[in-house]
Structure 1
Amino acid sequence: MEQSNGPIIEPLRAASADPSFVPGITGAAPAEPEEPAGEPAPVVEDAPGTADDERPAPAAEPGEEPADGPVFEAADRRGRIVADAEGVRLSYDEEACEFRWDELAAVESEKGRFGKRFTVTVHTPDRRWYPIEIIAPDRGRVTAWESELDAVLDAYFDETA
């Protein structure tokens, strides 16, 4: 008969093992619907000399108007933060989450003491927090990001909610 001298460890049921455990994280996008068998898919040809980056952005949806207020956007090679009239969107590698302004309890930012790191932490009313760290191209950009984020928070975030 074997006897264990160590502690009994329960199986881990948290975000580290199951990403769907975290509220606010969106799931994988559904697959594109297949075209009917009788109709071939339309072919879109590239114009010579144009790259994907040079094409104009698609027009907004008919009922969707761009926001006139301030917009904050910061990104590096792995992460991205966008705050605008709709709310705050965070993405890091393949994970992404979205928060409307009425879903937030607080948004705090912090710049690294010696480097180019800029951290934004989104707090929800149910005492959860979602930090994301972005590495700026230079130290001056971190200061600009702080002022841009403050302008967006002043415009859209209602602290009395």
Structure 2
Amino acid sequence: MQGAAADPAFVPGITGLGGLAGVTPAAPATSEEPEEPQDMAPEEPQDAVPAAEPEAEPETEAVADGPVFEAADRRGRILADATGVHLALDEEKCEFRWDEIGAVATEVSRFGRRFTVTVHTPDRRWYPIEIDAPAKGRVAEWESQLDAVLDAYFDEGTEGTEGTEGDKGVQDAS
């Protein structure tokens, strides 16, 4: 009898780690390395292709003469610069070029320490991220820095955006 308790692949929609390319399960951390016998060397197939080293993550290079906005907490990070808006939450990341963005909305929580930025795309999708500020005054500073970046780089004339000249696609839902 095969079931979900014995085989998670039995449940439709759930995929195991084997189905994900390039993902390897984490090995348990040990303080000492296992010793390999000196005379036993691991065999490599004759036609094996050497494993390509993972590409180094490209660091975003900000334009020196333009404004840059960056806010981060223990889990999330927001970066807006000349290339676009970059969001990161834990290990998940997404990047939006300025021509892919329909609007950027900001919101401050009721008690003023949680700053939410939502990136809206022209195809009616939205991507919110919340950042916890170390102090209430920091949220106001973040809003002004983000406004400066949006004023400098966000072009409302792109296809799929709506709004007036004054708001630059920013909606403040305080």
TM-score, normalized by length of structure 1?
Answer: 0.61
Say which SS state the counterpart of residue 99 (structure 1) adopts: strand
* Gap regions ≥5 residues in structure 2: 1-10, 16-20, 24-50, 54-58, 159-174
Moved over 4 A (4+): none
Distance 1:127 1:77, change over 3 A: same
Residue correspondences, number: 110
Q: Which amino acid aligns with 2:147?
A: D
Contact map agreement 1:67 1:85 (CA 8 A) in 2:
no
* Gap regions ≥5 residues in structure 1: 1-10, 19-26, 35-59
The structure with the larger Rg is 2
* 1:32-47 → structure 2 map (5 Å cutoff): 33=52
* 1:59-70 → structure 2 map (5 Å cutoff): 66-70=63-67
Say which SS state the counterpart of residue 74 (structure 2) adopts: coil
Partner residue of 1:80 out of 58, 77, 82: 77
Match in the other structure for 1:3: none
Report whether the alignment pairs 1:157 with 2:160.
Answer: no
Root-mean-square deviation over aligned CA pairs: 2.8
Identity in percent: 69
Distance 1:65 1:134, change over 3 A: closer
Q: Which amino acid aligns with 1:68?
A: D
TM-score, normalized by length of structure 2?
Answer: 0.57
Q: Which amino acid aligns with 1:98?
A: E
